[in-house]
Amino acid sequence: MSSPTLIDGPRFGPVSGRPPKHLVIFLHGYGADGHDLIDIARHWCHALPEAAFVSPHAPEPCADAPTGRQWFRLSERSPAEIWRGAVAAAPALERFIDAELARHRLDERAMALVGFSQGTMMALHVGPRRARPVAGIVGYSGLLAGPDRLAAEARSKPPVLLIHGDEDPLIPVGALFGAVNGLASAGIAAEWHVRPGLQHGIDPDGLELGAAFLRRVLSPESFSAGSDL
């Protein structure tokens, strides 16, 4: 039997020009692809000059966007469908994470997951279930799949930052508080911010919050004095 094909996507950095000390993996939303988030690296690269950024394309063609990708199908958008989808998509993401860490000779302490929408669902599903804690998870405009299951399945307790717009018409802001509570049940404390007037997206303040969080959790002793935000 042939081994599964690894997912892949666009890459950026490190801008230092040296081998990376950190790895940031972007996980895009439903119907997009890896190109959708990789430009965030250009906003964050000077705050994280030693970081390699990568934004893999999700493994499946999107059922509702012929040129996009999906981590899993969203037809009824029910909690049961989201849970089944996250479980099914997790192995492909796990293989990608393992391959990227090996590629750069890094371990989870030097890696962060950054998700948007469905990508946040995947980051919050996979991150706490890894045996070794990742440095941090940033989730924009998403939710936690199976919040009642995480306490029994979490193997690590990474720092988490959640950011959500209070006018999000696709995933209402209440999903943020559901995620915070679900994470808390597993002993994972999440920092969270609600962005006023923001719909389903990422605004400049959200980008700044994400960069500051990653700078804090990704081995701060390795940053040079000249690369302050």
Catalogue the active-site residues: 117, 168, 200
Give the C-alpha separation, 209 to 140, whole Å: 11
- Token code pair at residue 208: 């700044």
Give the C-alpha separation, 85 to 21, whole Å: 32
* H or E element at residue 120: helix 118-126
Give the C-alpha separation, 111 to 185, whole Å: 24
Q: Which of these, 150, 147, 138, lies nearest to 111 by C-alpha position?
A: 138
- Token code pair at residue 75: 């037809």
Give the C-alpha separation, 209 to 163, whole Å: 9
Which residue type, as a one-letter code, is found at position 217?
V
Give the C-alpha separation, 124 to 147, whole Å: 10
* H or E element at residue 194: strand 190-195
